Amino acid sequence: MVSRKVSRRRFMANTAALSAVGVAAPFVRGAYAAGKLSVGFWDHWVPNANGATEKLIKEWGEKEKVDVQIDFITSQGNKLLLTTAAEGQAKSGHDILAQNTFLPARNAELLVPMNDVMDQLIKDNGKVNATVEYLGKVGGKWLGVPATVGSQIKGPCSRIDLLKKHAGIDIQAMYPAGEAPKADNWTFDTFLKAAEACHKGGNPFGIGLGTTSDNVDTIGAVFHAFGAVMVNEKGDIVIKNDQVRQALDFYKKLMAFLPPDVAAWDDASNNKFLVSGQASMIMNPPSAWAVAKRDAPQVAEQCWTHGFPAGPKGRYAPFLPFFWCTWNFSKNQSAAKSLLLYLSQSSSAEKMVAASGGYDLPSFEKLTTFKTWAEEGPPKGTLYHYPNPHNHQILSVAAAPAPHKIAEQIYNQGIQTQMAVRYFKGEPLEKTLDWASGEIEGFMRN
């Protein structure tokens, strides 16, 4: 656990050489003498979770004499996405704005490099995973600081009782609380057999195949586990390969055991399916479990969040980070960096994780063992494996390693889930691959 505190002054001293154009100019003391800062953060769905962030920001503002204006912007109805697009177009808006997944790369030319902040944070908090680096660092430039708030792993959340009853799997023994996973047998074969058994038992897995994030994230991890690449890092379309065919074959088998309308599922569908008591497993961060705690406690006390099954090329899980980014038209960039440094310290991250009931996930490797995850329940320890504390799985994002502008479109238009549905509905595999290839070709335009 990291305990070293980084004061704003020390950070300024360390980065003075890099910030020759006044970025690191010292503030003048006095009531709000260091100017104003406007912050647009993701509005947390967990009640009172915003409070921890707000408190930390206020503490920092008082200490640094900065007048901070905080807006919590909901992602409901794409409000945050629209705000980001509008601010980017207008070249005006918040000094710091939360941007998720591919948005920092989309706005790369409008964002202030955060290399100085990230160098310091990596030194203090440990490395970030390769997915954070892929999404947040373009051409050697860090586009934002990976945010604790809103970042998540979308791993399996299983019903302990139903998996045991229908598939004979003791998921708690496989992923014991407080211990390293004993999940060598937790492979795609086991997973398929369990899916079939649970389907037969009347409690199918609730894995969506719509075009929204939850659905795309799951299939993305499966593709990675098969080594199925559609577009390589150079931007070449390489979709017609055996790994992609294997991944689609796997999904075809899996879909036979899923509810019939999964092609129309959105990000709420799997949550509702779990809370309704029908699902024996969904792929989701602990939000569904938290809703069940409130609305269906008998379901919640049987939920266990754990790792993905392993495929032929490894065990991958989807990781969706938010980034705190600063626009290059921000008037107070030095204060923005100082605040981001403060919010990313271990003690701050721990407060945010606690306030979110374990939902929020820091991206730094030394910040995945807070006591919140070990203690949350019922059942106690249900979230222990959520932050991947034993690096048991490789954290990934769908469509990687394609160049961002292509990957973003593959991701947002759900090309992988669409392929799976087309193939499942009887379209010949090669025709599906041709269709996807044509779509991706369209994403190549500049």
Residue ranges in contact with other proteins by CB under 8 A: 78, 81-82, 85, 89, 102, 106, 210-212, 259-266, 269, 272-273, 276, 278, 405, 408-409, 412-413, 418, 421-422, 435, 438-439, 442, 445-446
C-beta closer to other proteins: residue 109 or 184: 109
Q: How far is the CB of 212 from other proteins (least distance, A)?
A: 7
Under 8 Å between Cβ of 149 and 360: yes
Between CA 295 and CA 247, with CA 155 as vertex, the angle to 5 degrees is: 130
Q: How far is the CB of 191 from other proteins (least distance, A)?
A: 22
C-beta closer to other proteins: residue 273 or 373: 273
Backbone angles phi, psi at 356, to 5 degrees: -90, 5
Task: Give the gyration radius of the chain's Cα atoms.
Answer: 22
Q: How far is the CB of 208 from other proteins (least distance, A)?
A: 9
Q: How far is the CB of 154 from other proteins (least distance, A)?
A: 18
Q: How far is the CB of 252 from other proteins (least distance, A)?
A: 15
C-beta closer to other proteins: residue 32 or 45: 45
Q: How far is the CB of 279 from other proteins (least distance, A)?
A: 9
Give residue 381's Cα distance to chain centre: 21
C-beta closer to other proteins: residue 12 or 108: 108
**What is the rounded distance in angstroms from the CA atom of residue 275 to the CA atom of residue 252?**
26
Under 8 Å between Cβ of 162 and 201: yes
C-beta closer to other proteins: residue 352 or 421: 421
Q: How far is the CB of 199 from other proteins (least distance, A)?
A: 15
Between CA 398 and CA 404, with CA 403 as vertex, the angle to 5 degrees is: 70
Give residue 142's Cα distance to chain centre: 17
**What is the rounded distance in angstroms from the CA atom of residue 229 to the CA atom of residue 227?**
6
Under 8 Å between Cβ of 330 and 149: no
Q: How far is the CB of 171 from other proteins (least distance, A)?
A: 22
C-beta closer to other proteins: residue 265 or 386: 265
Backbone angles phi, psi at 114, to 5 degrees: -115, 25
C-beta closer to other proteins: residue 181 or 220: 220
CB atoms within 10 A of CB 233: 12
Q: How far is the CB of 80 from other proteins (least distance, A)?
A: 11
Q: Concatenate the DSSP letters of all residues of 109-120 into one string.
A: GGB---HHHHHH
Please name which of 313, 293, 315, 291 lies closest in space to residue 302, comparing C-alpha atoms.
Answer: 293
How do beta strands 137-138 and 141-142 pair?
antiparallel
C-beta closer to other proteins: residue 206 or 387: 206
Q: How far is the CB of 214 from other proteins (least distance, A)?
A: 12
3-state secondary structure of 106: helix
C-beta closer to other proteins: residue 120 or 269: 269
DSSP tag of 202: T
**What is the rounded distance in angstroms from the CA atom of residue 366 to the CA atom of residue 127?**
8
3-state secondary structure of 75: coil
C-beta closer to other proteins: residue 350 or 408: 408
DSSP tag of 198: H
Structure tokens, 57: 């920001």
